[in-house]
Structure 1
Amino acid sequence: MRNLFLLFFLPIFLSCKNDVFPKPKAYLSLTYAEKTYESLKLKRPYTFKVLQNTTIIDDENNWLTIKYPKLKASIDITYRPVNNNIKELLTEAEKLVFKHTAKAEQIIPKDFINEEKKVFGSIYEITGNAASHIQFHVTDSTKNFIKGSLYFYAKPNYDSILPALNYIKEDILRLVETLEWKE
């Protein structure tokens, strides 16, 4: 019996010489192309800087879609002229933002004001598994109104898309900061 014990269990005890250490935390390493911006080339009542490696899709009524094919995302831009209906346009834009309340963990508003260029608006960052993670609207409050929404073409999983979201968020901030109305 003793020999049987030594035969089966002794190799187990002798084979475990190295200590086992937990592996260090791993982080997802994503690389994105260096950003270069250019002015929007389409004739619109507005202009702004857009990332060069995006695809611009021209839609009717001065609307457009800025596609990020590698990130499977797009920024949908809608334009509406202001005809004594600024309150209605602002209410509609905010309703679209707060439609995401059911899935959102948090909605963070940031106001934007550029008196020199007559660009006034808000950017809403929506955290959580919502359908759209950034929405914004800008206006000159007398003639022009733009609404924009960022969408990913994937099931909403906030943690997974966060690096791409942060990458595109910079582009949206650049868009709003460089926006100018054409007379």
Structure 2
Amino acid sequence: MKHPTTAIAFISAAVLTFVSCTGEYSPRPRGYFRIDFPEREYITYEGDCPFTFSYPAFAEINDDDGRLAHPCWFNIDFPGYRGRLHISYSEIDNNLVDYLEDARKLAFRHTVKADAIDERMFINRADDVYGTLYDIKGNAASAVQFYLTDSSSHFFRGALYFNVTPNRDSLDPVIDYFIEDIIYLMESFAWK
């Protein structure tokens, strides 16, 4: 035989082909990691700001250290989920329309990546709290935004962001869980 290495390679390939194909092939389904959520438990925020609300006990409130931050601007961080609810508060001085329009524009700025933006009105006449929740569907940077106001003196706004590449399919369970917490925050909200 003129080329013994060729013969050895051919025989090795034939043996490997017969030996390696003994099991039945089954493709793995594409999936995402299972995400465990804590039991729902809430604590009340009663800081120096002119409002109170309940938020998840596993969350942490941290001051906003941005250069444009105001005294009642802070973040509600969700450790382990890489989520952050940015909170801002402003006093109204005959400029409610400006704040409402800014909140709407900030939510609808995500229409480029959003599949849909669902708006839910919120009215609590007993505590003089009114607002809107924007549920932003699709791979937008912010999944949920909302505002609350008394229409005369106070304006409170929140926006939920995750420090990950937006992929709504994998974030859906977390977003659905946090939307319930945000709705609870809105329902428990009261002015001081």
Match of 1:88 among 94, 98, 108: 98
Residues 99-148 of structure 1 show CA distances to partners (whole Å, capped at 9, x for unaligned) of: 00000000000000001100000000001010001000110001100111
Q: 1:25 to 1:96 in 2, by over 3 A?
A: closer
Q: 1:24 to 1:62 in 2, by over 3 A?
A: closer
Gaps of 5+ in 1: 1-7
Q: 1:85 to 1:50 in 2, by over 3 A?
A: same
Partner of 2:136: 126
Q: How many residue pairs align between the two structures?
A: 169
Residues 54-78 of structure 1 show CA distances to partners (whole Å, capped at 9, x for unaligned) of: 1101243211100001000010011
Give distance in 1, aligned partners of 2:121 and 2:32. 33
Q: 1:170 to 1:34 in 2, by over 3 A?
A: same
Structure 2 counterparts to residues 4-83 of structure 1, below 5 A: 29-59=34-64, 60-83=70-93
Q: Is the 8 A contact 2:134 2:146 kept in 1?
A: yes
Task: Quote how far apart the aligned CAs of 1:21 are.
Answer: 8.6
Task: Quote how far apart the aligned CAs of 1:97 are.
Answer: 0.6
Task: Quote how far apart the aligned CAs of 1:35 are.
Answer: 1.5
Specify the code of the residue in structure 1 equivalent to 2:52: T
Specify the code of the residue in structure 2 equivalent to 1:85: N
Give distance in 1, aligned partners of 2:48 and 2:154. 15
Residues 9-33 of structure 1 show CA distances to partners (whole Å, capped at 9, x for unaligned) of: xxx9xx99x9999989978532211
Give distance in 1, aligned partners of 2:24 and 2:141. 47
Task: Quote how far apart the aligned CAs of 1:170 are.
Answer: 1.0
Q: 1:26 to 1:150 in 2, by over 3 A?
A: closer
Task: Quote how far apart the aligned CAs of 1:43 are.
Answer: 1.8
Give distance in 2, aligned partners of 1:76 and 1:181. 19
- Give the 4+ runs in structure 1 shifted more than 6 A: 18-27
Gaps of 5+ in 2: 1-13, 65-69
Q: 1:93 to 1:27 in 2, by over 3 A?
A: closer
Partner of 2:126: 116
Q: 1:151 to 1:21 in 2, by over 3 A?
A: closer
Q: Structure 2-normalised TM-score?
A: 0.80
Task: Quote how far apart the aligned CAs of 1:167 are.
Answer: 1.2
Q: Structure 1-normalised TM-score?
A: 0.84
Give distance in 2, aligned partners of 1:161 and 1:47. 29
Give distance in 2, aligned partners of 1:98 and 1:27. 29
